[in-house]
Structure 1
C-alpha cells in the first residue's frame, strides 16, 4: 500500500507533476491546492490577490484525474472565487482532492471544514476557509481496514505560529478522522498543516495517539528550491501504529511543486 500526500501548488508545475504522479501511481493520493474551473476549457488562468499573482492550472482536478484513470476521485471545494483570463473573470473552485485506486473499496467517507465554512462568492478574507476529507478503505492484500484523512491547514498572514484557530482545526481534524474510522483501524492523518514542528497542532495530534513521521525520521523540511521563504516545514504524515510502516520518504527530487511529496508505504 502506497499513500502520497502533496500540496500541488495549483498545478503550476503540471508538466513535471502529472508524469510523476502517473509513474508513482500511489494507491491513495491526498492532494491539496486543487483548482477546478468547470465553466472553462482553458488550461491556464491567473490568480490575483493584491501583489500575490500566480498562474493556475485552470482544471488541475481534471488533469490529475486523467493522469490516474484507475482511481476514484473526490474533489472537496473550500471556496469559489474567480481566476482571470486576461481581464475576463472565470468562476473557479479551490480546495483539495482524494484519489483512491479502484481496487480499494471505499467503505466510509467524511468531508467537512476545519476552519470556517464554504465560501460561495469569493475566496474570502485571510485566514480563509479550509476543508478536510477522509476515506476508509479495505486493503485486501493486508486484510485490514485503513482510514486516511487529510487537510490543508489555514494560512495566517502573520506566520505559522500557534493560534486558537489552528488548535481548533487540529481538534476538528482528529474528530473527522475518528468519525470515518473504527477504533481498531490503522489510521493515517496527513496534509499541508502550515505549522512548524513544535506547534500545538502536532502536540494535539500526538496526544490523540498519532506518531509524526517527517521530523521523527530526520527529514530537514518539506519545502524545496521553489520556496524562497524561511521555515522549511509545512507538510506532515502521522500514523497510529508506526510498526505498520515499511517505508517513508520526503521526496526532494524531482521537484513537482514548491512542496515535497510525502510517500508512506505500509
Structure 2
C-alpha cells in the first residue's frame, strides 16, 4: 500500500502536481489546503489576506478527483471564505481531502475539528479553524485493517513555536484517531503540522506509541525552493508498531507545491 501526504498549496502548481499524482497513483492520498468552489466554473481565483495574495485553483478538489478516477474522494471543509474573480467576491470552501483507491473499502471514517470549529462565512482571524480526517480501510492483500489520519495544523503568525493551542490540537488529533483505531490496527498519522521537529506536538504523538519518519530520514526538512522562509520543517508522518515500513521518501523533485510530498510504502 502506498500512502502520500501533501499540502497542495491551493493547487498553485497544479500543472505539475496533477501529472505527478497520475504517475505515482498512491492508494491513499492525504491532501491539505484544498479549495472547493462549486458555485463557479472558473479555473482560477485569487486569495487575498492583507499583503498575502495567492492564486488558487478554484475547483482543486475536482481537479485531483479527475486524475484519480479509481479513488473515492472525500472533502472535509474547515471554512468558507471569499476568493476573488478580479473584483467579484466568490464564496469558496477550504479544507482537507482524502482520496482512497476503490479496491480498499472504507469501513469506518471520522472527521472533526482540532482547532476552533467550522467557519461558515469567512476564513476568520489567525490562527484559523483546522480540522482532521481519518479513514479505516480493509487491506485484502495483507488481510488487515489500516487507519490513516491527517490534519492541517494551525498557523500562528508568530511562528511555529509551542503554544497551548497546538498542544490541545495534538491531543484532539489523537482523541479523534483513537475513536477509529483499535488495538491491532495498523496506524498512520500525517499532515502539515506547522511545528518544528522538537515540538510538543510530536512529543505528544510519540508518547502515544508512534514513530516519526521524516526527522529520522532527512535533515533537509519538508519545504522546497518554492518556500522562501528559513524554517524548512512543517510536514510529518508517524506510524505505530503494526506498520512495516517498506519505503519512505520526502520528495524534493519534482516541486508540485511549496511543500514536499511524503511518500510511504507499507
Interval containing the TM-score (normalised by the shorter chain): over 0.9
Q: Where in structure 2 are the equivalents of 1:180-195 lying within 5 Å? A: 180-195=180-195
Q: Where in structure 2 are the equivalents of 1:201-240 lying within 5 Å? A: 201-240=201-240
SS in structure 1 of the partner of residue 209 of structure 2: coil
CA distance in 1, matches of 2:92, 2:174: 29
**Partner of residue 110, structure 1:** 110
Give CA deviations for 1:53-107 in whole Å, capped at 9, x if unaligned. Answer: 0000000000000010000010000000010000000010000100000000101
**Partner of residue 43, structure 1:** 43
Give the TM-score, by structure 2 length: 0.99
- Tell me, yes or no, if the aligned pair for 1:219 and 1:250 is still in contact at 8 Å: no
CA 1:211 to 1:13, structure 2 compared with 1: closer, same or farther past 3 Å?
same
CA RMSD of aligned residues (A): 0.8
- Tell me, yes or no, if the aligned pair for 2:83 and 2:92 is still in contact at 8 Å: yes
Give CA deviations for 1:3-61 in whole Å, capped at 9, x if unaligned. Answer: 00000000000000001001100000000000000100000000001101000000000
Give the TM-score, by structure 1 length: 0.99
Q: Where in structure 2 are the equivalents of 1:61-100 lying within 5 Å? A: 61-100=61-100
Structure 2: runs of 5+ lacking an equivalent: none
SS in structure 1 of the partner of residue 255 of structure 2: coil
Q: How many angstroms does 1:117 deviate by?
A: 0.2
Match status 1:4 vs 2:37:
no
CA distance in 1, matches of 2:67, 2:141: 24
Q: How many angstroms does 1:242 deviate by?
A: 6.9
- Structure 1 segments, 4+ long, off by >6 Å, are none
SS in structure 2 of the partner of residue 202 of structure 1: helix
Q: How many angstroms does 1:217 deviate by?
A: 1.9
CA distance in 2, matches of 1:59, 1:151: 20
**Partner of residue 130, structure 1:** 130
Q: Where in structure 2 are the equivalents of 1:145-160 lying within 5 Å? A: 145-160=145-160
SS in structure 1 of the partner of residue 182 of structure 2: coil
SS in structure 2 of the partner of residue 73 of structure 1: strand
Aligned length: 266
Give CA deviations for 1:142-192 in whole Å, capped at 9, x if unaligned. Answer: 111000000000000000000000000000001111111111101000000
CA distance in 2, matches of 1:249, 1:242: 19
Q: How many angstroms does 1:254 deviate by?
A: 0.3
**Partner of residue 245, structure 2:** 245
Structure 1: runs of 5+ lacking an equivalent: none
